[in-house]
Structure 1
Amino acid sequence: MNAELIAVGTEMLLGQIVNTNAAYLARTLAHLGIGSRYQQVVGDNQERLDGAISVAEQRSDTIILMGGLGPTPDDLTKQTLAAHLGRELVTDAAHHEKLVEMARRKQQPLTPNNLVQAMLPAGATPLTNHNGLAVGAFMAANNHHYILLPGPPREFKMMVDKELVPLLAGQQHETLASETMHFFGLGESALVTEIGDIIAEQGNPTVAPYIGNYEVELRLTARAVDADQAQALIKPMRSNILRRIGQYYYGSGDESLAAHVVAALAAAHATITAAESLTAGAFQAALGDVPGASKVLNGGFVTYAPGAKEQLVNVPGSVIDQHGVVSAATAKAMATGAQHALGADVGVGLTGVAGPEQLEGHPAGTVWIGLAVGTQVSATEFHFQGSRNDVRGRAVKTALLMVLQALQK
């Protein structure tokens, strides 16, 4: 089996977005033993897309179209493929029901353009969209396989992992097992240093690294005659990786770092709060994005100015005068002050210099994170690189990891 990837979207041709989907899918296909020999990028134009499909049919047996499945007038991928193959579009009942439920929940009419998201070419197998509304599709016709995938990366990646990979593995009469391991605090160069030999010498299972959003993701994939044998192949590889970089590991699966923290707090029957300076509430927002966070997140404080630190979480003015706002003493006082103010089991204090200018003689990227767990109080200094948003984002994730590791002790 050899595949051709066709990304659909004028915004990619204009350089407005980067086609990360193609890179992710090409790696995934390679680990299934499927070559992706060609890639195309086509704008939102039915005639040119039809031509791209025709070109792909001359040189590839599996044609994967990414994007253009949504409700807007320029989303033409499924319509173009259906017309190309002489098929009608039919409605998938499960995705139609999702659309009906969404309209009911939002108390909005279900418009015809929205209904198109639940349609696919006649004879195609629907691929469930776990993170969105537009159905994907897999179909065989004219000695080719055709696959439709959504464009938004969050929807795309989940559909590839949950729907497409098992389907393609089945086409090759093998059972596939995979595990996605998540790491934070480990850069790309350190990753290569620590486990470069594992990545270079991989066979079965394969190891696919993905680096983004300040994290490293390793997807281990094994092929075998059944699921038990595939999992047995993954186990020693997983153990070897954890022996080398286990200090950066925070969990496996689809859950975010914040979700792991919320789960750990819930398991410990513990609550958390925070006083945030440079992150301006982003730490609490990350927790609040997780369903069920209200059971563990008492509330919190944004203490951007020195006066707010004193007034809201009782940081002594003498501490700020003597040590400055960017200091271990202030970070610890913020953590304990928030903890005591709301009666939480865990308190976090974040203070530092997001940049680009210095503050109190400290360079941009200097961050102190205070942590109060019960009566145990500590503060750790970090020096992050990057833009203002990078510094703030890394500070939030570092604080989350510190909380998780403290709860796991």
Structure 2
Amino acid sequence: MKIIKLNSKDIESAINKIRRRQEKDLRNIERKVDNILDDVRLRGDKSLFELSKKFDNFRLNKKNLFISSNEILNSEKLLSPKVKIAIKKAIKRVRDYQKKKLPKSYKYKDEFGNTLGWNVNPIERIGIYVPGGTASYPSSLIMTATLARVAGSKDLVIATPPSNSGINPTILYTANLLGIKEILQIGGAQAIGALAYGTKTIKSVHKIVGPGNIYVATAKKKVFGKVDIDMIAGPSEVLVLADSSAKIDYVAADMIAQAEHDVDASAICVTSSIKFAKSLLSEINIQSQLLPRRDIINKSLIRNGAVYVVKNLKECISFTNIFAPEHLEIFTINPDEISTKIVNAGSIFVGEGSAEAFGDYIAGPSHVLPTAGSAIFSSPLSSLDFIKYSSYTKMSKSGVKSLAKYVIDIAKEENLDGHANSVSIRVNQRARNGK
């Protein structure tokens, strides 16, 4: 992990270098994903059974494709009371936060008596991908399914990679708390294909959400249009904006927490103090050696970690807004003031007590966030992503009469005489009827 000094003119090029390093040649992966999706679409369940054996060494069949209701219910017996309490608390806090964001249908009358507005309805059937791999994440289920439930989505179906030792009981327990009965033992691109296209056994969904590896992300990108998706998520990242007042052990701990996700995760600090930067590197080295996942942490920090030293806090803010991090922590003397100047970040954690881990598990906002600089144009997953709007228009007699001429003039300018006629016929009909 390096300390890199930057002049103001070099900030943008340094960030572009980071983003280029994160880019991958996906052509080979895309070909593989295309083949998998085509196979699932054409051969359905049979394809899923074969791919499960090939990629997961798991003998999938019609009997074990879905987790049984007994296994879901029995999961509660396998968890400690403190874990069950924590999961319930997390669900409640996420639910409370997301309810506050949810809009309602609305109608109003304009000056001509026309009734205008919009109807809000939930997306009915949601597919949720829950990763397996080096770590299994029930928190990912909390941060997606709870939002869908708040929005009113009726049917939720989980896809999670199979294991010969069984599905993580915390995932099954969480699913049961959220009223989810359909849990598929399928992982990877084939799971995304099954959710998008459906099979004889699996009913297709309307939207797919949840993080996954590069094959899952690529598959989601490929099926977009057939179904909706949340986002194309890349490796997780944190940027810590710190001045010399920041507690070095806190900053080190939070960067390490990010690095332990996987070797592609990115943990970066930007500061105006070279002394702080040097002390931080030393503290990271000490803390990282004490953790079980230290090999992953060290590889991640060597590949993707750095401490950038700039001239002042103004340049720290500039760096942050160009970088557009997934997670941003602000550890400065005046963190609230600094936060008002941040316009590009997925989730902002303000002040020394606000460890990013609170956002991962319990704070309330979803931890499904835009990565790889996409916070410049996109937002965290929320209950808003599980609803859709229908605009509502009911024209009054006065509205037809008063606004028809504008429609006719614009339609004729566009050489769409049929459009013009569809309005003029209503005006003329009313005139003939003396109305």
Higher RCO structure (Cα 8 Å, ≥6 apart) = 2
More strand by share: 1
Shared fold per TM-score greater than 0.5 = no
Of the two, which has the highest radius of gyration? 2
TM-score relative to the length of structure 2 = 0.26
TM-score relative to the length of structure 1 = 0.27
